[in-house]
A = this chain, B = another copy of it.
Amino acid sequence: MATQHLSFDPQAFRAALGTFTTGVTIITTQGEDGAPVGITANSFNSVSLNPPLVLWSLSKQARSLPVFSSGKHWNVHVLSTEQERLSGRFATQGEDKFAEIELDRGISEAPLLQDCTARFQCRTAFQYEGGDHVIFVGEVLAFDHSDRAPLAFQSGQYALTTRKPRNELRLATTPPPECSYTEDLLGYLLGRGHYQALNLLRQLLCNQQLDEQAFFILAVLCIRDNLDLAEINTFVSYTGHVVTLAGMRFLERQQLVAIEGEDDDLRFVLTAKGRETSLQQVALAKVVEQELTAKLGQADAQALKVLLKRLIVVSDPGLPDLWAPR
């Protein structure tokens, strides 16, 4: 534990408070002039089931305080992972936040945003003193919710959540205790995940053999054409597949690659057929990704990709940048 802060450093206090994970909401109301008002808030929480009450707090400095204080009705929108941009828009001042936003018709005049994870239409029940904030407690008059994955916020950053299954996800029954192998090994899970996804791609490529090494070589040449053998290997050899001249000659016989130059300076370029094959493979890889995303859910698929990127960054053997201009 860090030292206790008896005298208050506001930044440290904010950082400590920020460790408490929250969802993200936009809270809206209508001004007396009929103009829509809305702000992003993560101070929302539920209070009571019967009567149904929720709360949130608003800075006494907020320009919208008078409107919320005098308005009776406001709506809380629990944002989905796809509404991060909307959150940013309502967190900043100035622009017309509601420009080009379609609204639903609610039970009051308070604006009702679309495509949220959940919405609560409220009427102020209490306004309480809360230091530099006012605590608004609202009675929920109507609510709805969808199955869109909710956006989260933690330590000043948006976050994706992975719900832990109530019972541990098991791929198999428990291994015998004398065995050191377990399905809970990161390396095993990476390998099995990789090969199972590749397997789905293979099924879509039913008329075509998919040799994984050939797949990698074509992909590299599709991004950076006209490479020599050593250059290809700088991009591919981390996979453990070392590309040889014989391997390239095999792709030449399949008319996927053309070999140019002299014996001591051979360079490899994609043929039109090679490019078409590679683009077809990547298009089908996107189909596989769509199928898996539909099964995992958008938010989990996105979280998996963020975590894999993080893994790749921390385990990078120093691969050259395939996409760098040259």
Contact = CB atoms under 8 A, between A and B. Distances in A.
Contact of A285 (B185, B201, B239): B185
A126 interface: yes
Contacts of A98: none
A2 B146 CA distance: 6
A15 to B, nearest CB: 7
Contacts of A240: 195, 198-199, 202, 210, 212
| Chain A, interface SS category | mixed
A212 B144 CA distance: 52
A51 to B, nearest CB: 5
A55 B314 CA distance: 39
A247 interface: no
A197 B202 contact: no
Contacts of A175: 223, 323
9 contacts: A6-B141, A12-B143, A20-B150, A55-B55, A130-B137, A173-B321, A186-B304, A190-B198, A191-B198
Contacts of A195: 238-240
B286 A185 contact: yes
B312 A292 contact: no
Contacts of A222: 179-181
Interface stretch (A30-38, A152-160, A256-264): A152-160
A189 B309 contact: yes
Interface in A280-314: 282-283, 285-286, 288-289, 292-293, 295-296, 300-301, 303-314
A208 interface: no
A164 interface: yes
Give me the 8 closest cross-chain CB pairs, A-B, nearest first.
Answer: A48-B131, A295-B314, A194-B194, A20-B23, A16-B145, A189-B308, A172-B323, A196-B315
Given A16-B120, A47-B130, A289 B78 contact: no
Contact of A283 (B45, B180, B186, B296): B180
Contacts of A53: 130-131, 133
A144 B301 contact: no
A311 B304 contact: yes
A118 B16 contact: yes
A21 interface: yes
A104 to B, nearest CB: 7
